[in-house]
């Protein structure tokens, strides 16, 4: 079984990758480099994903995959965007970020939003490649569901009649932004060629 190193300490993301990469040994980079940390200084999801995967690849001299993902809300001029994980500022948590989005959306009629994920794959001796996935939804006025993480409890997907926090891991993997980006990566053959 081939190892895939994921450059994140976010267990929710690692779990998402495990649902999708059933035929691989998915390893969170913090189990190899406990103090792995890199500043996400990019202004796009593509830049931030590449910063993390390239840094991890240089440290380990192995294939490293990272993602940068977030929520874009039409009525908030695509905020929180690349700042989704730190939207509520210093000491940001999933709960604080979610509550701030709800607060900022309380008088908005347009509830359209999308989850975006960009996967970056860094392979020693090759240029980094990125793959983008999106899933459209609408924001609810209050959280629903116990699964998932981040903004999942308020992100409603009409085709499934539930939030991504009400979906099983397998259901979410089928429709998720991360799932779409990973499928594009798999279709490219980049992992098999490495």
Active site residues: 68
Residue 32, phi-psi category: left (phi > 0), alpha (psi -120 to 50), beta (remainder): alpha
Beta-strand (E) ranges in 7-102?
A: 25-28, 64-73
Partner residues linked to 73 by β-bridges: 113
Contact call for residues 113 and 139 (beta carbons, < 8 A): yes
- Rounded Cα distance, 48 and 39, in Å: 9
């Amino acid at each position: 079984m081939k190892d895939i190193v994921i450059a994140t300490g976010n267990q929710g993301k690692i779990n998402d990758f495990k649902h999708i990469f059933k035929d691989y040994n998915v390893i969170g980079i913090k189990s190899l480099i406990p103090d792995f940390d890199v500043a996400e200084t990019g202004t796009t999801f593509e830049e931030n994903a590449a910063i993390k995967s390239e840094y991890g690849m240089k440290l380990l001299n192995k294939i490293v995959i990272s993602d940068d993902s977030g929520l874009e809300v039409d009525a908030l001029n695509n905020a929180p965007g690349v700042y989704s994980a730190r939207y509520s500022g210093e000491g940001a948590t999933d709960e604080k970020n979610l509550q701030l989005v709800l607060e900022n959306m309380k008088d908005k009629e347009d509830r359209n939003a999308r989850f975006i994920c960009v996967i970056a794959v860094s392979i020693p001796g090759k240029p980094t490649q990125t793959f983008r996935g999106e899933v459209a939804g609408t924001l609810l006025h209050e959280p629903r569901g116990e699964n998932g993480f981040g903004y999942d409890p308020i992100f409603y997907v009409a085709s499934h009649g539930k939030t991504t926090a009400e979906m099983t891991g397998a259901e979410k993997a089928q429709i998720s932004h991360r799932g779409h980006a990973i499928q594009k990566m798999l279709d490219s053959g980049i992992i098999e060629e490495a």
